[in-house]
Structure 1
Amino acid sequence: MSGSQAEGAAFCKGPGRRRTWAELLAGRVKKQKHNPEREQKLKDSALHLLRGHQNMNDLLLEVEDSQCKNLHLSKLVECDSAETYFDHSSSFLRSAFRDQASRLGVSVGILSARMLACSMEQVCTKPSHPVLLSSEQRKKLSSLLEIAQHLLAYNMFSRLTFCQELWKAQNSLLLEAVWRLHVQNVVSLQELLESHLDVQAMATWLFKNLCFLCEQTETSCSSADVVEAMLSGFVQLLVLKGFQENSDLRRPSEPEKMSQVATDVLQRMLACKLLALTGLCLFRVYTGHVCCGLTALDSVKRFFHHALTQILTHKPVLKVSDAIQMQKEWSFAKTHPLLTTLYCRVSVGPKESVDCLQEVLEMQEVNWQHVLSCMSTLVVCFPEAQQLVKDWVACLMARAFESYHLDSMVTAFLIVRQATLEGPFVFSSYADWFKRIPVLYSFCLQQHPHFL
């Protein structure tokens, strides 16, 4: 049989009939064995496509076939229609997400988190304020968060994925939107902050937004209650996480980066206002009122001790000789009112504050203006601090004479001189104090005549 005859026979099935290509190939197709590795690669590819797609609505339109166009999941999460769909049928909502997740080959929790994060980003676009939502934006966000709460109740929403997706668009993320996630129990502030991969970037973002929030409290606005609640909530979290007791073994230790972010942000805020000494808001942050929601009082005490230490050691450029010459300008009456207010508000108590002064002077370089003006504020505003200061001076003088410790003697002189500036109701005159210690008076007159 010739070659052409054999080829013709192969295409014929019975007399006079040619077999189709589909019939020829049908016998060669074999059912592929289940390959878990290949299946996982396909899922990973689908997940990569999902995460990298810039427009979720367009992506969902691509995968919606003609049999499922009645679902329209992309329309479901549109801010203007979310409430309508949700009120109509919650089971429809869950069914729509499951169908689309199955079609994409990804977890329904990841899909819902990605879509809601995308929708939340759209809500925050074109803001009218650096940190606050408009009334229309609040309404739209409320509908989205209602959907998220529903999905969470059915274990169909990934908090971690949601947080990660939000931080990808952090430059357009409004602080109030983050706050409302916390208030409506979708994602807590702590969970959201801890999910950020870059500690420095997180601290910078939060510091900038809290500064905007502080500026807002100094102007009258219709959102005053919201601003106050946001400020208190963020400060309470930062204080609690930045100054909690690490040795508490009854609960797992918090991630180190959360503590770093908390202390970094609070330090930046205080340093910024110390340089400017403007704005009442930041000083209200350092109050028991803002921290009253904290049950961990030890954290509050550690926070205030840390804040006072930062104030006393801020930019220590003056020498003792400078302090002696300028001391009269640092009395309580001449100190900036915001600074004296700050001293009072970071004071857990007179004894703790005097102890902090003593500790800082013994161990660190100090800002003499802050140290002495703080001491004046304590003895004027807290009468019980007067005796504490006298006892402190006595201890310094005893140490000076026992071991000829010149630093202790100089510190004692400066403290007494500062106290006497506040008048006889606070401290006896400088000359009277010297007369009570004849030996000391004679010695100091010879060594340091400028003290008189």
Structure 2
Amino acid sequence: MSGSPARGAAFRGGPLGPRKSWTELLAGRVKKQKYNPERERKLKDSALQLLRYHQNMNDLLLEVEDPQCKKLCLSKLIDCDSASAYSDRSSSFIGSAFRDQALRLGVPVGLLSARVFACSVQQVCMEPSHPVLLSSEQRKKLSSLLEIAQHLLAHNMFSRLTFCQELWKAQNSLLLEAVWCLHMHSVVSLQELLQSHPDTQTMTMWLFRNLCILCEQIDASSPSSDTTNTMLSGFVELLVSRGFQESWNRRPMEPEKMPQVATDVLQRMLTFALDTLDADPQVTSAYQAVRGWCSVYSGHVCCGMIAVDSLKRFFSHTLTQILIYKPVLKVADAIQMQKEWSFAKTCHLLTTLYCRVFVTLGPEESVGRLQEVLEMEEVNWKHVLSCLSTLVVCFPEAQQLVKDWVASLMTRAFESCHLDSMVTAFLIVRQATLEGPFVFPSYADWFKQQSSVWGRS
């Protein structure tokens, strides 16, 4: 019988003798068969397939390594649980070990090293003390791995593409800071990692969720505060540069996936911020995340890292999206609720966001964008009018620009009998006058002044 005790004992290594290793079993078969090139090719293909899928890499290496040569065991050479894993072994020695094992497996050394390192990075990220940040001990272990990976890269013994693909297989346990460290140490860039993901939508959501958590840490007082700010700035630089770069200025071989991913993530972050602020925010983790994200619009985060043209396109797009966010309010609602949308009554974080956008665009371009959006899109009147209040209060040079805009609207209304222009003009004036006579003439004074102009015309 197949389940007899004697047979089971032989299989486990009992009275009938010790269990033979996989290497010994294969060696015995090779002696009994003639050399067959086609069979050798199929065997190598099978080994490659085995490496690419879901086996335990450490177990596989233990099977093919000589138990007597403990010093050459790759799983020990890159032992993430050993703080001294790298200190007493040179990179060249580790490279030699990879070559030997790749030769024994019959696979490219770059593929083998990429697989082993992907497993090692995953081990570093296991049981994190923070959703996106590494602990000091994890940073130390990862730093040792990165030094070895840099050596392998320099000697053409490391496949970036395979490494990226293997990392994404365990993306739910992959920490954002680990990804950032890979980028900073030039092992694989952020762009390489993002472009290598097989599912764009899944990767977009992964990055969005991680950025939200990262943004919660921006104002936190901790030893990692410099790291969080640097990471956020780096991700924003990549997303804005790729998402709002002129199409003619893109690299010839750059796929279209990256610009789309970049704009999608940035749009999700802005929508998340506006949803949170629209829900009468309290001091919650979501509100903290929005505060952190709003900091990316400040000059010290964006300016100097991103091309001016790309930065302006990003800010102009942001202003447009704010103005057309959930356009559910009608003009009648705006007239009734206008007093609640003054500068003093608007959420401080929203007025801060407006101001940072205006600083980059300048008052003239900001007023022009307001005018264009009102003419072309359905708008959120709360955002349009609170945005206008912020503009005339915080940027005195915008006051005359708004007056000129209103004058052009009234001229158009009278010359072309365009009712929408007249309604828009009156809403703008009413909103500006809410901010007081030092900002804009009172509604009565403005109306008298305009009446005399209309009478002469």
TM-score, length of structure 1 as denominator length = 0.87
The Cα shift of 1:32 comes to 4.5
* Aligned mates of 1:57, 1:293 — CA distance in 2: 45
Q: In the alignment, what sits opposite 2:111?
A: 110
Q: In the alignment, what sits opposite 1:316?
A: 327
The Cα shift of 1:163 comes to 0.4
Q: In the alignment, what sits opposite 1:157?
A: 158
* Aligned mates of 1:71, 1:153 — CA distance in 2: 21
Q: Is the 8 A contact 1:246 1:253 kept in 2?
A: no
The Cα shift of 1:82 comes to 7.8
Matched, 1:333 2:344: yes
* Aligned mates of 1:228, 1:88 — CA distance in 2: 34
- 1:93-140 C-alpha deviation (Å, 9 max, x unpaired): 111000101111111001000000001101100011100111111111
Could you tell me the percent identity over the aligned residues? 75
Mean Cα displacement is larger for which, 277-286 or 129-138? 277-286
Matched, 1:255 2:268: no
Q: Is the 8 A contact 1:46 1:106 kept in 2?
A: yes
Matched, 1:286 2:286: no
Unaligned runs of 5+ in 1: 1-28, 443-452
Matched, 1:52 2:53: yes
**Shift in alpha-carbon separation, 1:247–1:310, aligned structure 2, 3 A:** same
Q: In the alignment, what sits opposite 2:406?
A: 393
* Aligned mates of 1:55, 1:333 — CA distance in 2: 61
Q: In the alignment, what sits opposite 2:20?
A: none
Matched, 1:184 2:197: no
* Aligned mates of 1:106, 1:75 — CA distance in 2: 20
The Cα shift of 1:199 comes to 1.0
* Aligned mates of 2:325, 2:34 — CA distance in 1: 75
**Shift in alpha-carbon separation, 1:165–1:352, aligned structure 2, 3 A:** same
The Cα shift of 1:31 comes to 5.8
The Cα shift of 1:219 comes to 2.4
- 1:10-67 C-alpha deviation (Å, 9 max, x unpaired): xxxxxxxxxxxxxxxxxxx9965644xx444322210111122432111001111357
* Aligned mates of 1:62, 1:142 — CA distance in 2: 28
Q: In the alignment, what sits opposite 1:14?
A: none
The Cα shift of 1:440 comes to 8.1
Matched, 1:435 2:456: no
Q: In the alignment, what sits opposite 1:449?
A: none
Instruction: Describe how 1:122-137 pairs up with structure 2 within 5 A.
Output: 122-137=123-138
SS at match of 1:88: coil
Q: In the alignment, what sits opposite 1:196?
A: 197
Unaligned runs of 5+ in 2: 1-31, 278-286
Q: In the alignment, what sits opposite 2:231?
A: 230
**Shift in alpha-carbon separation, 1:33–1:220, aligned structure 2, 3 A:** closer
Greater C-alpha Rg: 1
**Shift in alpha-carbon separation, 1:390–1:333, aligned structure 2, 3 A:** same
Mean Cα displacement is larger for which, 215-224 or 402-411? 215-224
Aligned match for 1:407, one of 420, 438, 445? 420
Q: Is the 8 A contact 1:434 1:440 kept in 2?
A: no
* Aligned mates of 1:241, 1:313 — CA distance in 2: 24
The Cα shift of 1:266 comes to 1.2
SS at match of 1:436: helix
Q: Is the 8 A contact 1:308 1:346 kept in 2?
A: yes
One-letter code aligned to 1:129: H
Q: In the alignment, what sits opposite 2:207?
A: 206
SS at match of 1:290: helix
Q: Is the 8 A contact 2:241 2:306 kept in 1?
A: no
- 1:245-288 C-alpha deviation (Å, 9 max, x unpaired): 11226x32632221122111111111112122233211102222
C-alpha RMSD of matched pairs (Å): 1.9
* Aligned mates of 2:142, 2:33 — CA distance in 1: 52
Q: Is the 8 A contact 1:313 1:367 kept in 2?
A: yes
Aligned match for 1:378, one of 391, 411, 416? 391
Q: Is the 8 A contact 1:85 1:93 kept in 2?
A: no
Mean Cα displacement is larger for which, 298-307 or 419-428? 419-428
One-letter code aligned to 2:201: Q
* Aligned mates of 2:146, 2:296 — CA distance in 1: 29
Matched, 1:346 2:357: yes
* Aligned mates of 1:192, 1:125 — CA distance in 2: 20
**Shift in alpha-carbon separation, 1:30–1:133, aligned structure 2, 3 A:** closer
Q: In the alignment, what sits opposite 2:313?
A: 302
- 1:65-112 C-alpha deviation (Å, 9 max, x unpaired): 357554112211112448545643332211100010111111100100
TM-score, length of structure 2 as denominator length = 0.86
* Aligned mates of 2:120, 2:60 — CA distance in 1: 14
**Shift in alpha-carbon separation, 1:33–1:58, aligned structure 2, 3 A:** closer
One-letter code aligned to 2:256: E
Q: Is the 8 A contact 1:86 1:93 kept in 2?
A: no
- 1:399-445 C-alpha deviation (Å, 9 max, x unpaired): 11221111111111111111111111221121222222337879xxx
* Aligned mates of 1:318, 1:440 — CA distance in 2: 32
Q: Is the 8 A contact 1:236 1:293 kept in 2?
A: no
* Aligned mates of 1:282, 1:222 — CA distance in 2: 20
